Amino acid sequence: MNATGRPNWRRLNQEGIVFAIAILLFAAAALGLPGFLTADNLVAIVRSVSVLGILALGMAVVIIGRGIDLSAVAIMAMSVAWYLQLLNTGTSDGLAFAYVIAGVLAIGLLNGFLVAYADVPAIFVTLATGSFVFGYVRSQLITQDAVPVPQGHWVELLGGVRFLDIPIEVFVFAGLAFLVFLFLRYTKWGRFIYFAGDNPVAARNIGIPVRPMLVLRYALSAVVALIAGLLTAASLHSINTRVVNSTLLYDIVLVAVIGGIGLSGGRGGVRNVLVGAALIGILLNAMTIIDIPLLYQNLIKAAILLGAIIVDGIINPRDEQTAQQGDI
Amino acid sequence: MRLLRALIAAATALAVTAFAAPSFAADDPGPAAYAKALNGKRVMLVPLAMGFDLAQGWAHYLKKEVEAWGGTFETRDPNWVVDAGAQAITDAIASDTRPDVLIIHAPDLNSYSKLMKKAQAAGTYVLLVDNPANFPADAFVGSDWDKLGQLEAEAAIKGCGENSSKKIGLVQGDQANSSSLYQYAGIMKVLEKHPDFQVVAKPDSNWDATTSRNVTTTMLQQHPDICSIIDFWDGDATGASAAIRDAKLDGKVFLVTTGGGEKAADCDKLNDGTYGAVVMTDLARQSGDMNAIIKFLLQSGQPAGTSHTYIYTLEKATTKADLKPDSCWDLKALQAEAAAK
């Protein structure tokens, strides 16, 4: 409501719309579905989107800086698969982890370097490095799609860690969300990301180190992907590289975008990721309880996304700047 | 003395050649016909992907046999992408080195039907393995998925016992793959005969372990008294087992699944109690069936597409109680064997 007493439709942006849909869904499920509004189920909802949310946090930081990281899922699955393969073939834990973290950073830095200094569009760079990471690791470093966690290894034990009966992923997700929030909101480099994403040329002209920051973002995204992969392996006691072929990558972009982080960069924050993840989590959980077949689940998910984008397009028309520069 | 011994040896050798040789080697037309029909023939395997136990096991046993009779064995790795598989088959048919036998692991009922028809028209025998398709191939070798589903349901009923809640949950694969659809049909057939047992939920995992974990978690929260869960593939049943473990229901929920009988994937997990029962495919025997039908087809002289044979692999639900040292095959050992060559 504004001063004239009429609803202020301008303020209702995509984040608001999606949040409203999430609340509505939540209320409907709580009333209509037995067993939805229990502590266990609420924890399960948050947990089911934890890994997705963690990956979306990394993606959000990249997208706000007007980029995109399509190699995130490949890095997540292949780094952990390689790590476990090294452990299974007898490499010492410290050395194996050092290899993997070096590899992950190398790919992140390569992504950043190619985008920042070679001026190749992020969408092509990361698509290519993602395929490269998958192809190289799958063909040269591991022998099978699924690599098990060695028995008694800390990754396996990590999966069993609970505080107050809440799985560890939830805390990692919450912790990372808080850290990214602090980074984006209160650090100089965090604020600069918005400037760089909104208008890279102007940001560079006022002396912001746009290129090194770009490289940093892709390295950050790669490390976040590794964390997500470790948590996946911790819970399942193995990692299956088939996930690279799944729709996970689109789901990550979906969570970020549906929450209202514009693909044109410079807008959004951690809150948008949380809203997007909440909607997806509630939606999937409710549909599973109702026992809707997967085909229809995808249809419903897509319809809601489309609806949110259309409503956003009507309420917040594209501005002059985006029209000129285009999205990514 | 030495001379005498030499004489006796020479006499024996003479006798053996004189009496034995003419009556066997010269008359048996088998080996020559066999060699003539098979020598230099090409066999190609196009599985869903080369990165999982079934495909690697088939490739191992087929390669060994094909190369032994002087043929060439090749594989293509579509890596779970249907288009890539179609491309591989198209290329194979069009190439100068067109395979004489094409073994296809179909991703669904229809995708490759036209291509398989083309292959047969070009003179290539088409074998379907593991997944049936809507196409009259020269032979289908693999599981009778309906029967396999029945075995799973029977194992689940047995695992639940008479004094249980009699509630069963299913984690299906998807709604397109024949192995998932027929498995479901088989399970339902058995459950119809046991009306006291009911399926309380039947979500899809889309063959993904994380999805399997999430849907199983929800299922167990909605129905904490479920006595058995049937997950449609051991590739994603690790997710269902994680959900059971997280819900602290280990030992209370009898998890049934199916797989290729690989040691780490199946037997080890039966042994540590993760799975209650696994309907395992006898992979060595299945590969042997393929080898036999390939040898038959190549010698038959019949044009491709003439006959349609179904060779169903013997399936059995294995539990910890009837686990034997040779219940499973060991992928690691096969890989070590291949690496040693």
Q: What is the DSSP string of B139-180?
A: EEEE--HHHHHHHHHHHHHHHH-TTS--EEEEEB--SS-HHH
pLDDT of residue B25: 53
A144 shares contact with chain B (CB less than 8 Å): yes
Most confident of the ranges A9-18, A25-34, A50-59: A50-59
User: What was the pLDDT predicted at B332?
Assistant: 83
Is B222–A289 a contact, with Cβ atoms under 8 angstroms apart?
A: yes
B316 within 8 A of B151, measured Cβ to Cβ: yes
Complex ipTM value: 0.76
Task: Give residue-wise pLDDT tens across range B28-52.
Answer: 888 888 988 889 999 999 999 998 8
User: Using CA atoms, how far apart are residues B275 and A286, in angstroms rounded to an integer?
Assistant: 28
Residue numbers in A near B335 (CB within 8 A): 143
Q: Find, among B108, B86, B276, B261, the residue nearest to B182 by Cα.
A: B108
B209 and A40 within 8 Å at the Cβ level: the answer is: no
What is the model's pLDDT at position A177? 93
Show the tokens assigned to B285: 């025997």
**Which positions in chain A touch B242 (Cβ < 8 Å)?**
159, 235-237
Where b means 16+ CB within 10 Å and e means fewer, A138-158 reads beeebbbbbbbbeeebebbeb
Tell me how crowded residue A127 is: count the other CB atoms within 10 A of its CB: 17
Q: Which residue of A has its CA nearest to B335?
A: A143
- Partner-chain residue, chosen from A148, A160, A236, that has the shortest CB–CB distance to B210: A236
- B-chain residues within 8 Å CB-CB of A148? 264
Mean pLDDT, rounded, of chain A: 84
Cα–Cα distance, B171 to B206 (Å, whole number): 9
Chain A residue with CA closest to B242: the answer is: A236
DSSP assigned state of B134: S
Across the interface, whether the CB atoms of A245 and B79 are under 8 A apart is answered yes
Cβ distance A291 to B246 less than 8 Å, yes or no, reads no
Which of A131, A294, A297 to substitute to test the interface with B, most B CBs within 10 Å?
A294
A249 vs B173: CA distance, rounded Å: 20
Strands (E), B55-98: 72-75
- pLDDT reported for residue A62: 92
Provide the pLDDT for residue A1. 42
Q: Which chain B positions have a beta carbon within 8 Å of A47's beta carbon?
A: 217
Domains of chain B: 31-144+283-314 (3.40.50.2300), 145-281 (3.40.50.2300)
- Nearest by CB: A236 against B206, B207, B238: B238
The rounded distance, in Å, linking the Cα atoms of A65 and A112 is 12
Q: Which residue segments constitute the domains of chain A, with CATH numbers given?
A: 15-25+35-312 (1.10.3470)
Please check whether residue A235 is in contact with residue A167, taking contact to mean a CB–CB distance below 8 angstroms. yes
Give the chain A residue nearest B334 (alpha carbons): A143
Percent of chain B topping pLDDT 70: 92
- Using the Cβ of A150 and the Cβ atoms of chain B, whether some distance falls under 8 Å is answered with no
Can you give the pLDDT at residue B7? 61
Residues B237 and A220: their CA atoms lie apart, in Å, by 32
Interchain pair A144, B209: CB under 8 A = no
- Between A309 and B92, the higher pLDDT residue: B92
Q: Rounded distance, CA B266 to CA B285, Å?
A: 17
Q: What is the pLDDT of residue A325?
A: 56
pLDDT (tens digit per residue) in A74-117: 999 999 999 999 988 888 888 999 999 999 999 999 999 998 88
Is the Cβ pair B214, A288 closer than 8 Å? yes
The pTM score is 0.80
What's chain B's Rg over C-alpha atoms? Answer: 25
Q: Nearest to residue A298, comparing CAs of A277, A279, A284, A278?
A: A284
Q: Report the residue from B207, B242, B335 with minimal CB separation from A235.
A: B242
Touching check for A88 and chain B: CB below 8 Å?
Answer: no
Give, for B309, the enclosing helix (H) or strand (E). Answer: strand B309-312
Confidence of residue B19 (pLDDT cuts 50, 70, 90): low
Closest CA to B109 of B43, B50, B58, B175: B175
Contact call for A288 and B218, based on CB within 8 A? yes
Cα–Cα distance measured from residue B132 to residue B109, given in angstroms and rounded to the nearest whole number = 7
Least Cα distance to B58 among B202, B250, B206, B262 occurs for B262
Determine how many CB atoms are found less than 10 A away from the CB of residue B34.
15
Among B200, B206, B217, B334, the strongest candidate for a mutation testing the A interface, having the largest count of A CBs within 10 A, is: B217
Of B203, B238, B246, the CB nearest to A238: B238
Who among A236, A238, A294 is closest to B174 (CB)? A294
CB contact under 8 A, B221 and A148: no
- A6 to chain B, closest Cα gap in Å: 43
**Integer Cα distance of B42 and B70 in angstroms:** 9
Which chain B positions have a beta carbon within 8 Å of A245's beta carbon?
Answer: 79-81
- Which tops the pLDDT comparison, B310 or A240? B310
Q: How many residues comprise chain B?
A: 341
Q: Which residues of B touch A289 (CB under 8 A)?
A: 218, 222
Tell if the CB–CB gap between A291 and B201 is shorter than 8 Å: yes
